Amino acid sequence: MSTNNIWKINGQPMTNTIKRIWERFLIIISQLKRQVNMNVVTVNQFFKTSLSKSDVMVESILKNELIRQTTSVNLIASENLVSRAVLEAQNNVFINKCAEGYPGCRYYGGCMFADELERVAIARAKHLFKCEYANVQPHSGSQMNQAVMLALLSPGDTIMEMDLKCGEHLTHESAENRFGIWFKSVSYGVNPETGLIDMNEVLNVAIRHRPKLIIVGTASYPRTIDWKAFRRVADIVDSFLLADISHVAGLIVTGLQPSPIDHCDVVTTTTHKSLRGPHGGLILSNKQELFNRLSNTVFPGLQDGPMMNIIAAKAVAFLEAQQDGYRIWAKSVIENAKAMVERFKTKKIDIVSNGTDNHLVMIDLKNLELTDKQVTSWLDRCYITTNKNIIPNDLLSTNTTSGLRLSTCACTSRGLKKKDFERIADMIADILLEIKDKDKVSLPLETKTRMEVLDLADKYPICYSV
Residue 300: asked if its preceding bond is cis (omega within 30°), the reply is: yes
Q: Is 213 annotated as a binding residue?
A: no
DSSP state of 47: G
**Contacting residues for 77 by C-beta, under 8 A, at least 6 apart:** 219, 220, 247, 273, 359, 360, 387, 405, 406, 407, 409
3-state secondary structure at position 215: strand
Strand 387-389 and strand 133-135: the pairing is unpaired
DSSP of 324-381: HHHHHHHHHHHHHHHHHHHHHHHTT-EEGGGS-SSSEEEEE-GGGT--HHHHHHHHHH
Are 198 and 353 within 8 A, CB to CB?
Answer: no
Alpha helices in 71-140 (DSSP H): 84-90, 112-129
What is the CB-side half-sphere exposure of residue 107 using CA atoms within 13 A? 8
3-state secondary structure at position 137: coil
DSSP of 260-322: -TTT-SEEEEESSSTT---S-EEEEES-HHHHHHHHHIIIIII--S--HHHHHHHHHHHHHTT
Question: Per DSSP, what are the bridge partners of residue 186?
Answer: 160
**Contacting residues for 151 by C-beta, under 8 A, at least 6 apart:** 290, 293, 294, 296, 297, 301
Are 85 and 312 within 8 A, CB to CB?
Answer: no
Cα distances (angstroms) measured from residue 294 to each of 50, 59, 267, 284, 290: 41, 39, 11, 10, 6
Q: Which residues are annotated as a binding site?
A: 164
- Residues making up the binding site for (6S)-5,6,7,8-tetrahydrofolate: 164
